[in-house]
Amino acid sequence: MRLRRCLAVAAAVAVTTPVALFTAAPALAATPSAAQTQNQQKKPDQPTYAELEKTAADAKKAYEDAVAAEEKGEKELEATLDALDSDTHPLRAATITADKAAKDAADARTAAEQAVTDAEAKLEAAGNAADRAEAQKALKAAEADLTEAVKAKQEADTAAEKAQTALDDARVAAVREYSVLQNTLDKARKAKEAADEALATAKECVRENGLTSLAVGLPSKVVAGTTVDFTLRLTNGTERTLSVDPLVFVHVDGEGPGEKSRLKVEWSNGSGWHALNGNEPEHIGPVDTMKPGEHSDVKLRMKADSVARSTEVIALFAADASSAYRPCVQGPMKRYDFALLPAGSEPGEVDDAKPGEPDTDDDKRPDTAAPATGKDSSAQGGASEQAAKAQATGTEGETEAEADGNLARTGSSSAMTPIALASAAAVALGAGTVFAIRRRRRAADNA
């Protein structure tokens, strides 16, 4: 019943409601993709990540308010329409009275028309002059009454139409008021979706090849029982100011997850020495502010327990970062291979370990989940071929975004659940774990 009633005035609403009420544009234009924004300077009108978060929060609040207003408006509309349908409402009562007057006027006109017909019959049947005169007089009176009845019916019909129009106008006004709330809700929804999309786009990881990490003084051979000092130099060769978190992973070939490493590695940024856990990559020595062109050094030292035979060690270094506009910025990963020699060995002349060539193999992820077993096998085992291709092509952020889902676009919380490194997939150390630790770090930063 209510649906039919609303549909009955829909046509009137469509005619009387301005077109502008049914059009809405997103309040926030879609943000370019991560690939488009990579290595670009901030534009004057580009919002910071904090501003995007505030815009999304404000849009969510506006949407929630619009939902509440629309729900309240719907109840008020139903109440108004129910009241207008009640015989006690003045407008409805006026239509009832006017309709009755119009019906009475129609009945009176019908009676007047019959009286004229009867008078015409009597006139035709009159046999003498006196009867004809009397019948003619009666016909004239009947015709006069009919004229008055026709006029009265027209006036009554006009009054009834006017009363019905007033009632319909009240219904249309109520529906139009509700349609404004619906339009406001539609605009608020689109603004929220656009704000969520912009925030999600800014959250995607981007690659910055200019954000480099370089091991300075790391020897190509390390004798067990000796202590080696070297430096991790971080350089911001990008065009943006960054907060940098160096990512470090040192792994001795053949050591499994949870096994105590024979190689103890510590780092310091001037606040004492801190040991690496040796089982997974971790962030060390955060640098709060690093402007374009600046560099920062983190000291590292390592000492190996006695080993029975020479073995291979790999060290992975990368710089994870964030800026005012991006919570996840990643520099290329560097790999260093060096030899761990038994105690008392005479290594002879020792050169510095060399980083891998700065090409797509620097942080390529292998196809298998098997642990690394030698120098020719990357110790970054555990990631899929798809992750390898993503890293090699610089689209790691997009792959991670797919893995994280589309929460921001649906208004869900942006805090991502940390990945459990103790799962079966974590049997293979290296890239799979690197991939996970980066995501876990990003989740913690955004929580």
pLDDT tens digits along 123-172: 898 888 888 999 899 999 999 999 999 999 999 999 999 999 999 999 99
Residue 428: C-alpha distances to residues 311, 356, 367, 403 (Å): 18, 22, 12, 19
**What is the rounded distance in angstroms from the CA atom of residue 361 to the CA atom of residue 263?**
26
Q: 358: pLDDT confidence band, cut at 50, 70 and 90? A: very low
Q: Which of 191, 203, 194, 202 is nearest to 61 (CA)?
A: 191
Please tell me the least confidently modeled range out of 35-49, 119-133, 328-342, 370-384: 370-384
Residue 3 three-state SS: helix
Q: What is the pLDDT of residues 59-80, one digit of tens each?
A: 999 999 999 999 999 999 999 9
What is residue 220's DSSP assignment?
S
Which residue intervals of 128-224 are DSSP H helices? 129-203
* Closest alpha carbon to 401 in 11, 144, 31: 31
Q: Higher confidence at residue 36 or residue 209?
A: 209
Chain-centroid distance, C-alpha 365? 30
Question: Lowest mean pLDDT: which of 364-373, 424-433, 435-444?
Answer: 364-373
Determine the pLDDT at residue 363: 55
Average pLDDT over residues 33-58: 71
Q: What pLDDT does residue 200 have? A: 95
What is the length of the chain?
Answer: 447
Would you list the DSSP string of 335-382? Answer: EEEEEEEPTT----S-PBPPBPPSSTTTTPPPS--SPP-STTS-S-TT
User: Cβ neighbours of residue 36 under 8 Å, at least 6 residues apart?
Assistant: none
- Note the pLDDT of residue 185: 97
At 205, give phi and psi (nearest 5°): -70, 140
For the chain, the maximum distance between any two Cα atoms, rounded to a whole number of angstroms, is 159
Find out whether 322 and 285 touch, Cβ atoms under 8 Å.
Answer: no
CA distances from 33 to 166, 202, 319 (A): 55, 8, 22
Q: What per-residue confidence (pLDDT) applies to 44?
A: 52
Residue 43: predicted pLDDT:
52
Q: What are phi and psi of 319, to 5 degrees?
A: -120, 110
* C-alpha to C-alpha distances, 359 to 221, 226, 263, 292, 355, nearest whole angstrom: 25, 33, 29, 23, 11
pLDDT > 90 fraction of the chain, expressed in percent and rounded: 53
- In this predicted structure, what is the pLDDT of residue 278? 73
DSSP state of 260: P
Residue-by-residue DSSP string for 282-329 = EE-S-EEEE-TT-EEEEEEEEEE---SS-EEEEEEEEEEEE-SS-S-E
Higher pLDDT, 105 or 375: 105
| pLDDT on residue 19 | 36
Tell me the whole-structure pTM to 2 decimals: 0.60
- 330: amino acid identity, one letter: Q
As beta bridge partners, residue 373 has none
